[in-house]
Structure 1
Amino acid sequence: MADAWDEADDARRIGSRARTVGGHFATEQPLLAPLPTEPFETGRGFTPRVDRYAQVTVRMSKYSVPARMVGRQARVLLNASDLVVFDGRTEIARHERLMTKGSTRVDLDHYLEVLLRKPGALPGAKALEQARASGRFTPVHDAWWAAACKAHGDADGTRALIEVLMMHRHLPHDHVVAGLATALLAGALTADAVALEARKYNDTADGGADDTTADHQSLMSGDRARGEGEIPAVRSLTERRLRAHIPADTRPLPSVEKYDQLLAHRRDTPNEGAAP
């Protein structure tokens, strides 16, 4: 749309001038300086201090940062559509810019270390509410969380969920959700089991889908090829290696015969070098 307006304006004449706007620009263009090679930063910088809620206030709006930044000064770059927070030169947070004064945007990941010590604060947390609204906290998270709390108690079940949420920092979101779904059906309600299943999906992401990926796809679509009452087992790493057709180990078994020779030598001279 803007390009069409520019082309239409090129044919416009200013007053009674003999040449059009486009004609004047064609004369001026060779005389213009070249564009700079370095990117030009168009955002506005701020240096707010992080409050006790791990948030910074910029233009009457609040944005969360990692909890370790409480009490410290951060560097903020406010752009037209987003806000970036730096600790020194390291980017530590990025949010969509808020257009309404007095509003707050928080990221659940920024509070996980605090919630791990105080798991009772998670159910009513505003960060959890916004994570659900954005789709980052899925119904699969909720289902696994409820099952973990039923099995281990509210505190320990919530801590297990928080450990799972920390996996999102290192693994793709879809793979963690797939690991949660598989572990939930298998009744594996520990963070270690979810991590194992999520890494399986992560390992097979570049090598094509295997039967594990197919199980997850059928689970998410609601069409279980294995039947309604059957529960899939969490596959072991040994089974995974066997299916990979690893060649047999032909090396001989270890032996301690050479060490037995040393024992015989010690029996021949038991007191050699001993003090009187």
Structure 2
Amino acid sequence: MGNSQSKVELYAAIRKDHLLGMSMRSLQRVHNVTWRTVRRALDGKWPEPRKKSRRQESRLDPYKPLIDAMLRADLDAPPKQRHTAQRIFDRLVEGHEARDISYCMVRLYVKDRRREIRRKAGVGPEAMFVPQRHLPGVEAEVDFGDVHIVLAGEPARVFLFSLRLSYSGKAVHRVFASCGQEAFLEGHEHAFRRLGGVPRGKIRYDDLRAAVERVLGLGRARVESDRWTAFRSHWGIDAFYCRPGIEGAHEKGGVEGQIGYYRRNHFVPVPEVASLAELNELVDRWDLEDEGRRLRSRTRTIGESFAGEQPLLRPLPREVFETGRWFTPRVNRFGQITVRSNAYSVPVRFIGRQLRVLLHANDLAVYDGRTEVARHERLSGRGGSRLVLDHYLEALLRKPGAFPGSTPLEQARSAGRFTPVHDRWWTAACAAHGDAAGTRALIEVLLLARHMEHEHVVAGLAAAFRAGALTADAVALEARKAAEGDSGELPAPVPGTGRAEGPAATVTFLSDWRLSHLPPDNRPLPSVAHYDQLLNRHGRRTGNEKEGS
């Protein structure tokens, strides 16, 4: 008949009908019950609660303590490296020979038990949270998150810096090759300048190595790095460090949720970019677009809330804090300097010299005194090298035999700076002039890139190749014509490079070009008439000598 409450109502109805004179048989028929139920109702007894059935033992019972231990260990594990039901089942089968259980048994138990363990530990959706009120312009949160992109045609893992204002939800992001101290400081500086101010209250952090050298005990006391302390003092940052591990994750849940939202909505599908600078331009645009969305049930957008919060931020300091780090390496015999276990090329004229290097998060600049002599995109790993072919051209002019197998040439090909047009012109020049002379001619062409655009030099090579002009002078002249727009449009590429061949080119050699640009010569043509009298004179003298003899 259902639950005990419905039985109570049934017993009351039976007694009421019996008082009206209804017989036992009629009561059974009307209420559709047995005579025992009628008898109990008339005897003044109340229905007893249904007895709970005894739980049957499960084949999973011996393994439940093992499963609980795995789920408790997940409380301190990284979010992306926690046990799934399938992994727990595999461990039970492999490590404990649990052949008598099934995956469905494990999955159903893990589904409810995981939630219960997380609730008891004070984490998860069942944990209790107290709503917080954030004042405008006071608090912010900072964190790093990793994202995957396709950088210059290769898969790469980069790091997304995020600083989020707690009141408005306005967030500023920046992508870096690493999450080191340079990226940490540059991310702050970029965010403060984009926001137009600094929060007046606390900024919440994890124990990032860029800021914290050592955690003291279980409290919030930290030993900060000297550089972070100086940076924090310059910008007036009041740092608040969250508790380590999973216990402190909710203390800056706003920025962690923001990074997840940003990754799902702007990095799916995986973006393909040529450089981090190009990606950061997209990130700046995405930050502006996000100002139009609303957080949860708020009536105002992020941009509208930030417009009221921005005037309440602390003004930016006037002085500039250099976020880069200075090094003074010595150039080795290969024309390279080593910074953070990676090698970078400099012009070979500096071999043996000590130069100054300013290292930033995504690039580094090399200085001789106050003059910048090289700039490279920073390498994030160890043991890598970034070599620029232009830095070695003077040495290769003296040693052309080292050019074909050089590492700078290989990297130039990979970067697209040494094109198939270069290769075809080089092959033809070597066939016409010999390997050494042809290679020197190519190096002289490469030197043109110091004074001309790369595209114009490639156009000059293409035009010179089609006309069979295999000298550096011819290439220089055609490149200059392409730069000045004398030909109307850039010459077509070389046959075999994947594009259609243009009409046959006519190349003006440098000597002809110089003659055509001389001023007009209005002088009369030369004459030898004045020499006739010398001939007559010589003839008379010869005749007199013959007569005298």
Q: Same fold (TM over 0.5)?
A: yes
Summarize deviations over 1:139-161 as a string: whole Å, max 9, x none. 00000000000000000000000
Partner in structure 2 of residue 97 of structure 1: 378
Which of 422, 429, 432 matches 1:151?
A: 432
Equivalent-residue separation in structure 2 for 1:190 and 1:252 (angstroms)? 33
Summarize deviations over 1:144-196 as a string: whole Å, max 9, x none. 00000000000000000000000000000000000000000000000000000
| Structure 1 segment 79-158 matched on structure 2, within 5 A | 79-158=360-439
How large is the Cα RMSD of the aligned pairs?
A: 3.6
SS, match of residue 500 in structure 2: coil
The CA deviation at 1:215 is 3.6
Partner in structure 1 of residue 263 of structure 2: none
Partner in structure 1 of residue 350 of structure 2: 69
Partner in structure 2 of residue 216 of structure 1: 492
Which ranges in structure 2 are unaligned for 5 or more consecutive residues?
Answer: 1-160, 172-201, 203-250, 252-304, 525-549
Equivalent-residue separation in structure 2 for 1:60 and 1:51 (angstroms)? 14
Alignment CA distance shift 1:183-1:72 (3 Å) = same
Partner in structure 1 of residue 505 of structure 2: 232
- Pick the structure with greater CA Rg: 2
Which of 460, 466, 475 matches 1:194?
A: 475
The CA deviation at 1:93 is 0.5
Equivalent-residue separation in structure 1 for 2:490 and 2:330 (angstroms)? 48
The residue identity in structure 2 corresponding to 1:159 is R
Summarize deviations over 1:205-230 as a string: whole Å, max 9, x none. xxxxx54525437977733453xxxx
Equivalent-residue separation in structure 2 for 1:115 and 1:218 (angstroms)? 26
Summarize deviations over 1:71-99 as a string: whole Å, max 9, x none. 00000010000011011111111111001
The residue identity in structure 1 corresponding to 2:500 is D
Name the TM-score, length of structure 1 as normaliser.
0.71
Partner in structure 2 of residue 8 of structure 1: 169
Equivalent-residue separation in structure 2 for 1:182 and 1:189 (angstroms)? 10
The residue identity in structure 2 corresponding to 1:35 is P
Equivalent-residue separation in structure 2 for 1:101 and 1:182 (angstroms)? 42
Equivalent-residue separation in structure 2 for 1:63 and 1:27 (angstroms)? 42
Alignment CA distance shift 1:27-1:235 (3 Å) = closer
Partner in structure 2 of residue 203 of structure 1: 484
The residue identity in structure 1 corresponding to 2:169 is A
Identity %: 54
Count of aligned pairs between the two proteins: 229
Equivalent-residue separation in structure 2 for 1:92 and 1:8 (angstroms)? 43
The CA deviation at 1:203 is 1.5
Alignment CA distance shift 1:150-1:225 (3 Å) = closer
Name the TM-score, length of structure 2 as normaliser.
0.37
Equivalent-residue separation in structure 1 for 2:370 and 2:311 (angstroms)? 41
Q: Which moved more, 1:79-88 or 1:212-221?
A: 212-221
Does the 8 Å contact 2:336/2:343 carry over to 1? Answer: yes
Alignment CA distance shift 1:9-1:158 (3 Å) = closer
Which ranges in structure 1 are unaligned for 5 or more consecutive residues?
Answer: 16-21, 205-209, 243-247, 255-276
The CA deviation at 1:5 is 6.4
Equivalent-residue separation in structure 1 for 2:487 and 2:407 (angstroms)? 38
Equivalent-residue separation in structure 1 for 2:435 and 2:494 (angstroms)? 30
Summarize deviations over 1:100-142 as a string: whole Å, max 9, x none. 1111111000000000000000100000000000000000000
The residue identity in structure 2 corresponding to 1:47 is T
Partner in structure 2 of residue 176 of structure 1: 457
Which of 303, 312, 324 matches 1:29?
A: 312
